[in-house]
Amino acid sequence: MTTLTRDDFRLRPADLADMPAVYRVCLKTGNAGQDATDREDDPDALGHMFIGPYLVLQPDFAFVLDGQNGVAGYVMGALDTPEFYRRMERDWLAAIRARVKDPGDDESLWSGSDWVRRLIHRPPYLYPPALHPYPSHGHVDFLPEARGLGWGRLGFEHLMQALAQAGSPGMHLDVSPHNHGAIAFYEKLGFAKVISDELPAGGLTMARRF
């Protein structure tokens, strides 16, 4: 197996033609950074909820990492979180819901991708006052082949620079409290954990000012 180097990859602006590829990356990293293929019965559900709306609604802040095998990762964000959530509800999720059945409230009856399907129908849209100093937010996911080469840092710094140049004073992001590698990665980028009773128990939000 050929060892890949940083020079084997290139960060570029994403476009709509990248949708299948970024959905694949979202699935392959959807279990706290690990492959969620065996867990999900709908391979598109994670992409519908967590990455598709950024590519469509915020193209100025959507970037993909190209490698020898195609798209190997992405970094995407939203400039104004409450405005993005309004657009996501009106211009994205309304159409997705017409194709995705709501599994209902009873988690004991859920299986496969039902947990994502429920989020599609009842998204939390969390933006309490504790996050208002950090109105932007973002996501980054890279396949294993692209990790450890410095592109995660370069990609996220590129996103933060784009958001800052557009006038954002800061950003926040959600990370699995079990994904210790991701937490350490964000801490190196200057993010700190947000401690607030306004945020849901069991989750983890990190933020930084620009």
16-59 residue pLDDT tens: 999 999 999 999 999 988 999 999 999 999 999 999 999 999 99
Q: Which domains does the chain have, with CATH numbers?
A: 6-169 (3.40.630.30)
Please state the pTM of the whole predicted model: 0.93
Q: Which residues contact 4 (CB under 8 A, 6 or more apart)?
A: 67, 68, 145, 146, 149
Local mean pLDDT, 10-residue blocks, the chain (210 residues): 83 98 97 93 97 98 96 97 97 96 97 98 94 96 93 95 98 90 92 94 94
Q: Which of 185, 176, 140 is nearest to 158 (CA)?
A: 140
